[in-house]
Chains A and B, each alone.
Chain A
Amino acid sequence: MARALIKVPPKAKRGEIIEIKTLISHIMETGFRRDNVGKPIPRNIITEFACTYNGEEIFRVDLYPAIAANPFLSFFTVATESGTIAFEWTGDNGFHETGSAKITVE
């Protein structure tokens, strides 16, 4: 179970541009390293992140092994209406993690 940290402002004015920050604990093993007996360590990364605002996709990212361990992402969106901002991470070996945050738009 991976731990995800999500930062969304709880309140915003309608039309305001808000910043969303996410951090998830993940090793992001590149697949290019070898262990102490010279055996290649298989790749184990998060390959995709998607963010939806009341069901509508607002931001999606393809991640590659070049992304540092514990992927951090920050991006922006327009606060249009009150509701839920949901997050989804998918990766190698069936990795799947979700998270969500509530926002009140006045």
Chain B
Amino acid sequence: MSVTISPDRTGATRRTLLIAGAAGLGAMLIRIEPAAATPEAMQRLIRQVVGEVPVRKGKVTLDVPALVENGNSVALTIEVESPMTAKDYVKAIHVFNEKNPLPNVVTAHLGPRAGRAKMTTRFRLADTQTITALAEMSDGTFWSASADVIVTLQACLENLD
């Protein structure tokens, strides 16, 4: 804040300065939000993706190690049961987490040309948490699977000092 203390010229009184100070403090308080996804944030995001459609358990296999030493690179494989024909295929695969700074991990868009609804990538884990994979089918249904991962060395938020 750059408030010039010159009551003669700007007409700034002690009161207006106090109000300005309080407003500044308020703005600072708003900025101190924890940069972390929460289980609720993940649920909200899942709701955004699926809308009103119920999410059923099953069809999705989520393969992550149960115990991770280094959260900076964790192998993640998602496979969805589907014949992958022109009429019945997996449209999208979403992966969400509860405790990284952002609830998203990855979203893949695929179609009948994939032949097999399976993908692998490597991701980061900021904490011990539950990972959820969600599959969107061509018929509009959603299927999910979850896995618990224990992390010893955390990623994402480590500082460079």
Contacts and interface: CB of A to CB of B under 8 A. Distances in A.
Interface string B124-136: 1000000000000
Given A76-B114, A76-B116, A77-B114, A66 B123 contact: yes
A58 interface: yes
B106 A66 contact: yes
A33 B124 CA distance: 13
A64 B115 contact: no
B158 A33 contact: yes
A71 to B, nearest CB: 7
Contact of B161 (A36, A64, A77): A36
A30 B154 CA distance: 14
A30 B102 CA distance: 10
* Chain A interface size, under 10 / 10 to 19 / 20 to 34 / 35 or more: 20 to 34
Interface residues of B, number: 35
Contacts of A64: 102, 104-106
B147 interface: no
B114 A58 contact: yes
Interface in A13-66: 17, 30, 32-36, 41, 53, 56, 58-66
B159 A33 contact: yes
Interface of A: 17, 30, 32-36, 41, 53, 56, 58-69, 71-78, 80
Interface of B: 35, 72-74, 97, 100-102, 104-111, 113-124, 155-161
